[in-house]
Amino acid sequence: MKRIGVFTSGGDAPGMNACIRAVVRASCQREIEVYGIREGLQGMVENKIALLQTQDVANIIQRGGTILQSSRSKEFKTPTGREKSMQNLKTHGIEGLVCIGGDGSYAAMKVFNKEFSIPVIGCPGTIDNDIYGTDFTIGFDTAVNTVVEAVDKIRDTAESHNNVFFVEVMGRHSGAIALYSGISSGAESILLPEVTNDYDDLILKFKNKSKRKKRFSIVIVAEGDEEGNAIQIANKFKNSFPELSPKVTVLGHIQRGGAPSANDRILASRLGAAAVEALIDGKTNFALGVVDNNLTFTPLEKAINNKKEFNFDFYNLAEILSL
């Protein structure tokens, strides 16, 4: 293997730059050339490919976003788009790929590998922490810290006015950010897609006033909760408790930005360097991860087809501590 390509794909996540840096620096150590593919899979289709050298990744470990930029490409989903992409990779002599992204990007890579047999290694980059085969994904820790910082501020005003706050966090299909930020911000309730009776439980809690000595409440809502988003849920809640005036804060994309936490930088650095070694070793179609602090290799297909287990112990812990 003499030349590899690296790209970031799907929603950006803090720590993607640290991962790109690790891929480039580890490759340079092993005398492999690295090509950066800009704007994710769309950039592969459009031939936005250029050599990355060690100095190109200086001073990026602390930066959020991705210097390579990202996209959710429709064109890559077509056979013509993939054909063009392979042609572009061939023109640059690229023999293997490191894909930093989420499960959608992994699925695209599986098809690509099947059609053209190009070796692919995936590094899990998404704030959602919803990828099978790794305890954490790159960006998740930072996103949770961003939410906690925001909720700490909301808590001040909630307490001052005896308010109920519904705080919406990201996670269309995953309640991981809601769960971890809910525990670490001391939320009273957490509403997320993996638990179906959570809204009814919330209503019960508020009806059971004698047990509730609280004067204000923080409810964390994952955007993908089956009851709806935070605005819809707060409206429904208001119908049950007209005497309360719930407030809503939607944290939105601030969760995807900002300097990566130390944990995300370390995870990203480990995985980026390991991806290069994996390609050198002739491994292909693997999703990298860290489980119990050990590096793991999960076949891409398995990573795509399996759902990461939801941590019900954590959910129960949040319930116990919120009483």
Give the interface with ligand F6P as residue ranges (CB under 6 A).
11, 102, 126-128, 170-172, 223, 256
Query: What is the side-by-side order of every strand in the sheet holding 3-8?
Result: 49-52, 33-37, 3-8, 96-101, 120-124, 286-291, 294-299
* Nearest distance from C-beta of residue 320 to ligand F6P, angstroms: 27
The answer to whether 104 and 233 have CB atoms below 8 angstroms apart is: no
- Residue 125 or 133: which CB sits closer to ligand F6P? 125
- Residue 172 or 302: which CB sits closer to ligand F6P? 172
The answer to whether 20 and 82 have CB atoms below 8 angstroms apart is: no
The answer to whether 108 and 77 have CB atoms below 8 angstroms apart is: yes
* Nearest distance from C-beta of residue 170 to ligand F6P, angstroms: 3
Nearest CA to 167 out of 147, 184, 149 is that of: 147
- Residue 44 or 170: which CB sits closer to ligand F6P? 170
| Catalytic site residue from 128, 130, 198, 225 | 128
* Nearest distance from C-beta of residue 196 to ligand F6P, angstroms: 19
* Nearest distance from C-beta of residue 289 to ligand F6P, angstroms: 17
Strands 217-222 and 189-191: parallel
Catalytic residue flag (residue 128): yes
- Residue 44 or 147: which CB sits closer to ligand F6P? 147
Burial of 183 from C-beta contacts in 10 A (0-12 / 13-18 / 19+): buried
| H-helix segments, the chain | 16-29, 40-45, 79-91, 103-116, 140-161, 176-184, 198-207, 230-240, 262-280, 300-305, 312-321
Whole-number CA gyration radius for the chain:
22
- Residue 4 or 100: which CB sits closer to ligand F6P? 100
- Residue 223 or 225: which CB sits closer to ligand F6P? 223
Cα–Cα dist 26/290, whole Å: 18
Cα–Cα dist 152/317, whole Å: 20
Cα–Cα dist 216/203, whole Å: 15
Cα–Cα dist 288/302, whole Å: 12
* Nearest distance from C-beta of residue 255 to ligand F6P, angstroms: 7
Show Cβ contacts of residue 143 under 8 Å, excluding neighbours closer than 6 positions: 13, 14, 127, 170, 177, 255, 256
Q: Catalytic site residues?
A: 128
